[in-house]
Amino acid sequence: MFIGSLVALITPFRQGAIDYSTIESLVEWHIQQGTRGIVPCGTTGEAFMLTPEERMRVIETCVQAASGNVPVIPGTGAITTEETISLTQQAKIAGADAVLIVTPPYIKPSQEGLYQHYKAVHDAVEIPIILYNNPGRTSIELKHETVIKLAHLPRIVAIKDSSGDWARPLKTRYDLGPKFCQLAGDDTATVAFLANGGHGTISVIANIAPKACAELYEAWQLHDLTTVGRIRDQLYPLCDALFIETNPGPIKYAASLLELCSADLRPPLVPISAATSENIKRAMQTSGLFESFEQRIQ
């Protein structure tokens, strides 16, 4: 079971090249701050801007840095089933604990096509699979009925849901029970997701506020709703500001302000606008992130 705050890890670049030493530092820092899992090579990790060889080295770097302290769950989704199987096989060899597989972008397969896609990966590689439903990115919805069908395959163990339907975890829990893991793919949905039977979040904001994200889940486990509400309200300005422009531009800029990594992106992504930069700075100030950061890294 994957629970709590898992980070959708950014991929730091320096002059166009991947900064592997910074990846190591980020993973070690996240473990210290209470992050429950490392999720590299996803949307936030600019997976489709990486070559297959770069993806594998990023995964290997995360696995080595995590040293078994938390699971490493890389994104291995691709446009074709064949490439998805290949990336998933390589991720297993690299030491990944599970994989996150997004619905194939651009192709827009039918629901039966999605079922056969995931089943083919499931049958080809013995590794736990987390389904990733992100219709805003891929233009295809992984329907509830398809998730239920896929969940009967033994190695499909969870879903990351970025559909925006905050009632969906309740429906899925009703049909599949509490053992099927459900993870929010939207930081604004964390509390609603937990309240409706979810188990945690694959978080973008955790890249810059990992301790607060971890503490929110811990407070939820303790039924400390006062603390849950306080942290939720504290993080909301970040939830809003960090998605004004396309992810991961804003979160990498915010991370650069904290000197965690550079704000570099790979084309066709470009640096965020001056207006968005100012919005992010204000949100970080409002959330107390600048003031608390020194204590949080100690």
Gyration radius of the chain's alpha carbons: 18
For residue 116, pLDDT over 50 is answered with: yes
Residues of the chain with pLDDT > 70, as a percent, come to 97
167 vs 270, residue with greater confidence: 270
- Could you identify the residue written with the tokens 């964390």? 190
pLDDT averaged over every residue in the chain: 95
Whether the link from the prior residue into 250 is cis, omega within 30° of 0, is no
Mean pLDDT, residues 14-23: 96
Instruction: Establish how many alpha carbons lie within 13 A of residue 283's alpha carbon, considering only the half-sphere containing its beta carbon.
Output: 25
Is it the case that residue 267 has pLDDT exceeding 70?
Answer: yes
pTM above 0.75, yes or no: yes
pLDDT on residue 166: 84
Catalytic positions are 132, 160
For residue 295, pLDDT over 80 is answered with no
Q: Which domains does the chain have, with CATH numbers?
A: 4-222 (3.20.20.70)
Neighbouring residues of 275: CB distance < 8 A, sequence distance ≥ 6: none
* Confidence (pLDDT) at 1: 78
Query: Does the pLDDT value for residue 291 go beyond 80?
Result: no
Please list, in sequence order, all residues whose beta carbon lies within 8 angstroms of the beta carbon of residue 15, skipping any fewer than 6 positions away. 264
**What pLDDT is attached to residue 280?**
97
**For residue 296, is pLDDT > 60?**
no
* pLDDT for the residue 293: 57
Pick the residue with more confidence: 265 or 291? 265
Q: Residue 94 pLDDT > 90, yes or no?
A: yes
pLDDT at 297: 39
> Where do the H-state alpha helices sit in the chain?
20-33, 52-66, 81-94, 111-124, 135-138, 144-150, 168-176, 190-195, 210-221, 225-241, 249-257, 274-286, 289-296
Q: What is the dihedral of CA 46, 183, 152, 129, to 10 degrees?
A: 30
| Chain segment 214-261, per-residue pLDDT in tens | 999 999 999 999 999 999 999 999 999 999 999 999 999 999 999 999
Which tokens in the block code for residue 36?
């429950």
247 Cα distance to chain centroid: 12
